[in-house]
Amino acid sequence: MQGCKQFITLCICPNNKERKQKPKRKKKKLANKEKTFQIPTMIETVFTSQTLTGLISDRKSFESITNDYFKILDLDGDGTLSPSELRKGLNRVVAVESEVASGEETDSVYEAIFERFGENLAPEKFRDLISEILTAMARAFGDSPVIMVVHSDGLIMKAVRHESEKGM
Ligand SMILES: [Ca+2]
């Protein structure tokens, strides 16, 4: 289907009201300096299920994108993603809302993930996981275009940019 080109980013709207500045607190010194994520900008975008499946089927691009995320999420740099590394980072990669789901909800999602993919993910397993999440999203959205507010550096925006670059 060629019609996806039109479903590109509509507008940029930083979602300020949800980003209350937290008062600066002195962090206790941690044994290992943790990498921190930048607060992502939220972007409203329109895409279709093909935006997502298109990225997955472009193996080279998909591999390079998931490898980049893997490196960001692998905080201790040991080459696998531990449960805690995954929990800290996955939300930033695939979540579409800035609000985090309730603890219980998240717990059951992660339990299911660890059960299927194991507890320490190698890059290939991480790629399988991301591929499965995107496929599930694509299936859920069906054929109609979807409007969403997503992280500007998240996976959906990568898929949208990937699609618009290929379509040009
Ligand atoms: Ca690690």
pLDDT (tens digit per residue) in 9-42 = 222 222 333 334 445 555 555 544 455 555 668 8
CATH superfamily for domain 3-13+40-167? EF-hand (1.10.238.10)
Q: Give 107 Cα–ligand 1 centroid separation in angstroms.
A: 19
Do residues 119 and 82 make contact, with C-beta atoms less than 8 angstroms apart?
yes
**Whole-angstrom distance, CA of residue 114 vs CA of residue 103:** 16
- Ligand 1 centroid vs 159 CA: distance in angstroms? 25
pLDDT value at residue 108: 82
**Structural tokens at position 111:** 């339990």
- Rounded distance from Cα 153 to ligand 1 centre (Å): 21
CA of 77 relative to ligand 1 center, distance in Å? 5
Amino acid occupying residue 99? E
Residue 106 vs residues 61, 67, 151: alpha-carbon distances, Å: 29, 24, 18
Instruction: Please state the length of the chain.
Output: 168
Domain boundaries, the chain: 3-13+40-167
**pLDDT tens for each residue of 125-154:** 999 999 998 999 899 888 899 998 888 889
C-alpha of residue 154 to centroid of ligand 1, in Å = 20
Predicted confidence at residue 101, as pLDDT, reads 61
